[in-house]
Amino acid sequence: MHVGGGSRTEELVDYYLSNKKENYETIDISDVRLSGLDVSELDRRNKLEEAGDFSDEIFRYAKMMAEAEEIVMAAPYWDLSYPAVLKAFIERTFVRGITFKYDDNRQLGLCKAEKLIFITTAGGFIGENNYSGAYIKGVSEIFGIKKIKQYQAEGLDIIGNDAKKILKDSKATMKI
């Protein structure tokens, strides 16, 4: 999601993934060109969901989320959140019967993953305004993912800060 190349978020997630011993599959949602669900897509999805028919391509990302053993999300921290394409992706994973269900007026998560890692970078300081991290945590809880870990590198664009050192220090905190 970096204009002009050299994504620092990508550097951190590549570091994290390069140290994984297990095989993994990646989805670069910036290449997929997702948008939020429009009214016709939402209506179609709801009808299929009600019928219990999850064979349609619209459920692809929800199925991937539900089946993953571990989930790693990475996005830059933009305007107190993350790029809209990540919200569009998450919107497509909220599917009753795949990633969560209702039972006795409670939401129960259906995802197999026990852990979700969220990696973010910020040009300034996130501080108490970590709305994207809070949202990802909420999504994880609804989906039944118990362990949520966030890694971040912030203050990267502040004059006088050593961005390379900040990234190096962030990598050093990663428990893989």
Tell me the sheet residues that pair with 116.
Answer: 71, 148
CATH of the domain at 36: 3.40.50.360
30, 83 in Cβ contact below 8 A?
yes
Domain span at 60: 8-173
Q: Give Cβ neighbours of residue 73 (< 8 Å, ≥ 6 apart).
A: 86, 116, 117, 118, 119, 136
Q: What average pLDDT is seen over the chain?
A: 91
Q: What would the pLDDT profile of 39-48 be if each residue is shown by its tens digit? A: 999 999 999 9
Q: Is residue 68 part of a domain?
A: yes
Rounded CA-CA distance 36/34 in Å is 7
> Residue 154's pLDDT band (boundaries 50, 70, 90)?
very high
In a domain, 1, yes or no: no
Domain assignment present for 3: no
Residue 54 in tokens: 């999850």
Tens digits of residue pLDDT in 56-73: 999 999 999 999 999 999
Confirm whether 47 is domain-assigned. yes
Q: Is residue 66 part of a domain?
A: yes
Q: How many domains does the chain have?
A: 1
User: pTM for the complete prediction?
Assistant: 0.90
Return d(Cα 148, Cα 140) in angstroms, integer: 7
